[in-house]
């Protein structure tokens, strides 16, 4: 999608303590289905072609953590800036860093295009789509300032000092302010040059600064509900559900090409609205960066009446891991066993699961590994088992639940 011709940079305030969230870890770093919340927001901007840089305000103690996140996820557009004590201070520092850089770097061509557009977006609003960013950027190009708004959910009351109703505001002529917001660099820089000490310490609304200090009336742009902000701990549940709905792209790889089981797993995933690609055998597969989940189906069988130990199958698992090294992906290994496993097999499985759990390092990278073991037996029909195994595999892919990392599920 092309948006505007002017250069566009983003500012992400992410230096808050999240007091209302009530957790030792600030909300922007809390895990959403195994990945830090801020990573979703960073990726939502990194993937937009017309956004050139993302300036992120971070408190000093989180610099190392975010630097690792940047290198692991190849977030090439991100520049870190030390945050301030308030949201306005954090944004101001980023705006001044952009201004200093633009003064130095702007080519004649860029200058002709006009003042760059600065998108300001809270790091704790992880699910904004390209269209919403584009709508505010375009509106800022035309009107110098703009902001995403949604209708009010509840009526807003103004309250007297002693706690009585003063008046109820008319819902239809008020709106809730969200981010992204966008400004020309000239406007947002001037607004922060002139900001009062009181606003810097207590204020939170950038659109208001543009009005007060530059006389610029922001264009308000209706936005989808997904721009909502993670504020309280309960918001994590909504964020996890939304994250699951978005962006699950799975590849199903079967050791033996397509089988009844692999076909059924694909069908289950599609019914969860998961995008599925069916790969060939593991040896000749390439996994593109968009894939974020792989289901590997192994067949553990008796060949010529000689039972191979289950540990043989793990060679395939390890090659899957080396394939996934550079991909942000979870791995669900489904092992179809045509024989009863021995105690030794179980021991191997447990040891391998432990080893893989450590190497998947999920705390930092968001990678998860699960095992689903299907022991065939005569008591239950293959069709029933295939559907049970498929439902479980699809659920694991869909849920991306970090507490399930390294677990072995045995069916039927
Ligand atoms: N923010 C910031 N620097 C600050 C305070 C806030 O960069 N000194 C950022 C937050 O990290 C967040 C955004 O501004 O991404 C929106 O602020 P808010 O939701 O209020 O977050 P917190 O201030 O962290 O939360 P709380 O107000 O509950 O303490
Ligand atoms: Mg705050």
Distance CA 394, CA 411 (A): 14
Residue 21 token pair: 């969230």
Q: Is the CB of 20 under 6 A from ligand 1?
A: yes
Ligand 1 center to 95 CA (angstroms):
17
How do beta strands 145-151 and 175-184 pair?
antiparallel
- Judged by its nearest atom, the ligand closest to the C-alpha of residue 16 is 1
Residue 91 Cα: closest atom of ligand 1:
7
Out of 148-152, 159-163, 232-236, 301-305, least confident range: 301-305
Report the sign of the C-alpha dihedral through residues 305, 303, 390, 375, in that order. Answer: positive
Ligand 2 center to 345 CA (angstroms):
53
Question: How much of the chain exceeds pLDDT 90, in percent?
Answer: 54
Ligand 1 center to 331 CA (angstroms):
34
Phi (first) and psi of residue 340, to 5 degrees:
-75, 140
Q: Is the CB of 58 under 6 A from ligand 1?
A: no
pLDDT at 328: 63
Ligand 1 center to 27 CA (angstroms):
9
Q: Which residue has the higher pLDDT, 340 or 373?
A: 373
Distance CA 388, CA 385 (A): 5
Q: 316's torsion region: left (phi>0), alpha (psi -120 to 50) or beta?
A: alpha
Out of 125-139, 217-231, 269-283, 337-351, least confident range: 269-283
Q: Is the CB of 118 under 6 A from ligand 1?
A: no
- DSSP character for 124? T
pLDDT at 360: 53
What is each CA distance from 11 to 142, 145, 263, in whole angstroms? Answer: 20, 14, 45
Ligand 2 center to 19 CA (angstroms):
7
pLDDT at 130: 93
- Judged by its nearest atom, the ligand closest to the C-alpha of residue 28 is 1
Q: Tell me the pLDDT band of 165, cut-offs 50, 70 and 90.
A: very high
Q: Is the CB of 356 under 6 A from ligand 1?
A: no
Q: Which residue has the higher pLDDT, 110 or 156?
A: 156
Locus of tokens 């009585």: 164
Give yes or no for residue 247 having a pLDDT over 70. Answer: no
Atom 6 of ligand 1: nearest residue by CA position: 16
Q: Which residues pair with 293 in a beta bridge?
A: 250, 330
Q: Which residues pair with 407 in a beta bridge?
A: 370
Distance CA 233, CA 22 (A): 7
- Mention every residue, 6+ apart, whose C-beta is less than 8 A from residue 19: none
Instruction: Using alpha carbons only, give the angle 21, 15, 88 rounded to the nearest 5 degrees.
Output: 105
pLDDT at 283: 62
- Judged by its nearest atom, the ligand closest to the C-alpha of residue 230 is 1
Residue 318 token pair: 């390890």
pLDDT at 327: 63
Residue 95 token pair: 């705006």
pLDDT at 211: 98
Distance CA 328, CA 376 (A): 32
Q: Is the CB of 86 under 6 A from ligand 1?
A: yes
Ligand 1 center to 225 CA (angstroms):
20
Phi (first) and psi of residue 184, to 5 degrees:
-75, 150
Q: Tell me the pLDDT band of 46, cut-offs 50, 70 and 90.
A: very high
Question: Among candidates 132, 113, 149, which has minimal Cα distance to 48?
Answer: 132
Question: Among candidates 274, 261, 275, which has minimal Cα distance to 333?
Answer: 261
Q: Which residues pair with 222 in a beta bridge?
A: 149
Residue 42 token pair: 């960073």
Q: Is the CB of 19 under 6 A from ligand 1?
A: yes
| 101 three-class SS | helix
Buried b (16+ CB within 10 A) or exposed e, 209-229: bbebbbebebbbbebeebbbe
DSSP 309-377: PGGGGHHHHHHHHHHHTTS--EEEEEEEESSPPPHHHHHHHHHHHHHHHHHHTHHHH---EEEEEEE--
pLDDT digits (tens, 9 = 90+) for 202-218: 999 999 999 999 999 99
Please indicate whether the domains covering 8-242 and 248-411 agree at the CATH topology level.
Answer: no
Q: Is the CB of 90 under 6 A from ligand 1?
A: yes
Domain ranges of the chain: 8-242, 248-411
Buried b (16+ CB within 10 A) or exposed e, 342-377: eeebeebbeebbeebbeebebeebbbbbbbbbbbbe
Q: Give the chain's mean pLDDT.
A: 87
Q: Does domain 8-242 have CATH number 3.40.50.300?
A: no
pLDDT at 19: 96
Ligand 1 center to 138 CA (angstroms):
26
Q: Does domain 248-411 have CATH number 3.40.50.720?
A: yes
Q: pTM of the full predicted structure? A: 0.71
- DSSP character for 380? S
pLDDT digits (tens, 9 = 90+) for 177-210: 999 999 999 999 999 999 999 999 999 999 999 9
Q: Is the CB of 206 under 6 A from ligand 1?
A: no
pLDDT digits (tens, 9 = 90+) for 298-330: 877 655 445 566 666 666 766 766 666 666 678
């Amino acid at each position: 999608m092309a948006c505007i011709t002017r250069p566009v940079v983003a500012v992400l305030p992410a230096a808050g303590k999240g007091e209302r969230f009530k957790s030792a870890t600030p909300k922007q770093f809390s895990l959403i289905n195994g990945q830090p919340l801020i990573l979703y927001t960073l990726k939502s901007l990194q993937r937009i072609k017309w956004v050139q840089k993302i300036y992120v305000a971070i408190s000093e103690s989180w610099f190392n953590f975010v630097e690792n996140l940047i290198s692991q996820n190849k977030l090439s557009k991100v520049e870190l800036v030390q945050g301030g004590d308030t949201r306005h201070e954090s944004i101001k520092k980023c705006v001044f860093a952009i201004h200093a850089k633009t003064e130095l770097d702007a080519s004649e061509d860029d200058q002709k295009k006009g003042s760059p557009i600065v998108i300001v977006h809270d790091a704790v609003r992880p699910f904004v789509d390209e269209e919403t960013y584009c709508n505010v950027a375009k509106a800022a190009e035309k009107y110098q300032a703009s902001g995403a708004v949604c209708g009010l959910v509840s009526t807003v009351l103004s309250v007297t000092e002693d706690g009585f109703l003063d008046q109820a505001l008319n819902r239809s002529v008020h709106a809730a302010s969200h981010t992204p917001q966008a400004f020309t660099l000239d406007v947002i820089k001037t607004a922060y040059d002139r900001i009062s000490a009181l606003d810097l310490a207590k204020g939170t609304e950038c659109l208001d600064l543009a009005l007060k200090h530059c006389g610029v009336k922001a264009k308000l742009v209706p936005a989808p509900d997904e721009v909502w902000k993670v504020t309280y701990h309960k918001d994590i549940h909504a964020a996890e559900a939304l994250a699951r709905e978005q962006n699950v792209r799975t590849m199903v790889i079967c050791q033996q090409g397509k089988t009844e089981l692999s076909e059924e797993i694909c069908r289950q995933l599609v019914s969860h609205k998961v995008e599925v690609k069916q790969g060939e055998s593991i040896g000749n597969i390439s996994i593109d960066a968009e894939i974020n989940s792989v289901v590997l189906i192994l067949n553990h069988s008796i060949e010529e009446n000689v039972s191979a130990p289950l540990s043989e199958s793990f060679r395939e698992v390890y090659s899957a891991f080396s394939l996934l090294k550079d991909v942000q992906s979870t791995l669900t290994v489904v092992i179809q066993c045509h024989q009863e496993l021995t105690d030794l097999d179980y021991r191997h499985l447990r040891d391998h699961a432990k080893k893989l759990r450590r190497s998947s390092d999920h705390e930092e990278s968001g990678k998860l590994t699960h095992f689903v073991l299907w022991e065939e037996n005569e008591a239950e029909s293959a069709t029933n088992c295939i559907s049970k195994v498929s439902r479980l595999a699809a659920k694991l892919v869909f849920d991306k639940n970090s507490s399930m990392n390294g677990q072995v599920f045995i069916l039927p």
